[in-house]
């Protein structure tokens, strides 16, 4: 009877997974193809799918089978444990709240696009206030069900097993490190002088072809992926139908190229998940910090390395022509690893990027805990950035309007970015030790040695292991922020 109960659970979670996949494709379409007039209908479609998924997850039969199911197979045991955890979270939320959040997020995200273009926070403020109200309601409900603090309950939805109390000292320590490292890096950079700029033109069509070629070259399959354009680059879709997006600047080919390499890291993770557990909780990625580690190990650790740049430079020169000198590995490193105190998170270098995440972590935590109102967000943003990087955004488009996350209901997500960067450095260190030919491969544009190690140690593990246990299994220790600091010191302070 218990085995039959487990089989019924897997069938039900597979249906929930299929609904999630449909929603993912609709989200992708909304960001890439959908005409502006389709926004209201799309919001209703997504709300309906969210409601159906929630009804399946909270049906009485689900609770009965969870109580009866047993298994001794390790992967099935992990799957069952994740089902039970998901059920606790799902039953904490009424369907009406789930649907209301989906509608509010969709409506707010559409207004945000126009507000950001006009740098007009007042335009989106009432919509964001409604999103926050619902997020706080959800956080309280999840807190009551799980015993976690409200903000931790939101974080748990993105990265299992990591709390704000664990993240806070890591981020505080990085702020101390940055206070010393940033001026030192700027001084070293100034002594070396500015790199030579790449000479255009850089037609979007040529960029598109190069981006797609490199994405496929480092391991993504053409028959299981697409590359499209959107305002905010992302990787979406499903594990067998991965959708990457970027945007092209004809003045700077690096924006699209490095963005696509980053999103390809996400896509490779999705493609490497265990097919035997597709649409099952244990067959999903291990969380968003784990996911960010995979995008950043590809983009920052591998593709911005001296070895890969020595391969990439001649390829780019072949495509765009002109003077060959700026395409040398040393000059590309100067261009694409340049430290700068900027306003925009997605354009930040890897040394200052964590400061942008720390700011958002502190602000969203304060909003969820009721210590910061939406009306005070722009001022708090400016004050926080001044404290961390010594700069103040000149307008809200380069301040609190720049990211989609809060306007789409993504509270609790931001810590994953920097936890992922730290994990990427730790994983790369372990991969280099285990795979002596890794850098030699990168110098030839060959990502196979690194990808093979990641497939075995990260991708194929699904979510069988939590974030810390995944790192322990792959590297021999839990998250060690010192590996990230050592990587940054070697790259920027020597």
CA proximity to 299, closest of 257, 332, 358: 257
Q: Which residue in this structure is represented by tokens 């649409």?
A: 279
383 is catalytic: no
Catalytic residue among 99, 130, 156, 263: 263
What is the three-state SS of the chain?
Answer: CHHHHHHHHHHHHHHHHHHHHHHHHHHHHHHHCCCHHHHHHHHHHHHHHHHHHHHHHHCHHHHHHHHHCCCCCHHHHHHHHHHHHHHHHHHCCCHHHHHHHHHHHHHHHHHHHHHHHHCCHHHHHHHHHHHHHHHHHHHHHHHHHHCCCHHHHHHHCCCCCCCHHHHHHHHHHHHHHHHHHHHHHHHHHHHHCCCCCCCCCCCHHHHHHHHHHHHHHCCCCHHHEEEEECCCCCEEEECCEEEEEECCECCEHHHHHHHHHHHHHHHHHHHHCCHHHCCCHHHCCCCHHHHHHHHHHHHHHHHCCHHHHHHHHHHHHHHHCCCCHHHCHHHHHHHHCCCCCCCCHHHCCCCCHHHHHHHHHHHHHHHHCCCCCHHHHHHHHHHHHHHHHCCCCCCHHHCCCCCCCHHHCCCCCCHHHHHHHHHHHHHHHHHHHHCCCHHHHHCCCCCHHHHHHHHHHCHHHCCCCCHHHHHHHHHCCCCCHHHHHHHHHHHHCC
- Apex 364 CA angle, 361 and 370, nearest 5: 135
Residues 6+ apart with CB under 8 A from 28: 228, 236, 237, 243, 245
Question: Rounded to an integer, what distance in angstroms lies between the CA atom of residue 478 and that of residue 480?
Answer: 6
Contact 256, 207 (CB under 8 A): yes
Catalytic residues, which ones? 263
């Amino acid at each position: 009877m218990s085995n039959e109960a487990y089989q019924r659970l897997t069938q039900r979670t597979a249906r929930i997974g299929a609904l999630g996949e449909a929603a993912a494709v609709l989200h992708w379409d909304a960001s890439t193809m959908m005409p502006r007039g389709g926004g209201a209908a799309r919001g209703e479609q997504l709300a309906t799918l969210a409601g159906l998924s929630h009804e399946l997850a909270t049906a009485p039969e689900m609770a009965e089978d969870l109580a009866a199911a047993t298994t001794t197979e390790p992967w099935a045991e992990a799957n069952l444990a994740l089902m039970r955890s998901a059920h606790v979270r799902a039953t904490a939320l009424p369907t009406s709240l789930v649907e209301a959040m989906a509608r509010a997020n969709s409506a707010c995200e559409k207004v945000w696009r126009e507000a950001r273009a006009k740098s007009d926070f007042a335009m989106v403020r009432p919509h964001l206030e409604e999103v926050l109200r619902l997020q706080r309601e959800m956080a309280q409900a999840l807190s009551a069900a799980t015993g976690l603090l409200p903000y931790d309950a939101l974080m748990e939805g993105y990265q299992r097993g990591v709390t704000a109390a664990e993240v806070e000292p890591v981020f505080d320590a990085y702020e101390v490190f940055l206070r010393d490292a940033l001026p030192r890096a700027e001084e070293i950079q100034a002594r070396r002088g500015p790199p030579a700029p790449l000479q255009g033109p850089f037609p979007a069509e040529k960029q598109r072809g190069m981006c797609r070629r490199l994405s496929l070259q480092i391991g993504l399959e053409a028959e299981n992926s697409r590359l499209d354009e959107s305002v905010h680059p992302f990787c979406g879709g499903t594990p067998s139908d991965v959708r990457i997006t970027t945007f092209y600047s004809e003045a700077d080919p690096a924006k699209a190229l490095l963005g696509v390499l980053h999103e390809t890291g996400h896509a490779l993770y999705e493609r490497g998940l265990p097919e035997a557990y597709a649409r099952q909780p244990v067959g999903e990625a291990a969380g968003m910090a784990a996911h960010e580690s995979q995008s950043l190990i590809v983009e920052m650790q591998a593709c911005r390395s001296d070895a890969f740049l020595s391969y990439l430079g001649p390829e780019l020169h072949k495509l765009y022509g002109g003077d060959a000198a700026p395409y040398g590995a040393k000059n590309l490193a100067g261009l694409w690893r340049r430290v700068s105190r900027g306003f925009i998170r997605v354009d930040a270098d890897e040394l200052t990027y964590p400061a942008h995440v720390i700011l958002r972590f502190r602000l969203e935590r304060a909003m969820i805990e009721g210590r910061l109102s939406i009306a005070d967000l722009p001022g708090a943003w400016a004050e926080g950035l001044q404290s961390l990087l010594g700069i103040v955004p000149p307008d809200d488009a380069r301040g609190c309007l720049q990211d989609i996350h809060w306007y789409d209901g993504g509270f609790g997500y931001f810590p994953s970015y920097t936890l992922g960067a730290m994990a990427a450095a730790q994983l790369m260190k372990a991969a280099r030790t285990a795979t002596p030919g890794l850098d030699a491969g990168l110098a030839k544009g060959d990502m196979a040695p690194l990808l093979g190690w990641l497939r075995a140690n990260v991708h194929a593990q699904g979510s069988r292991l939590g974030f810390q246990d995944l790192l322990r299994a792959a590297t021999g220790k839990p998250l060690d922020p010192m590996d990230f600091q050592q990587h940054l010191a070697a790259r920027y302070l020597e």
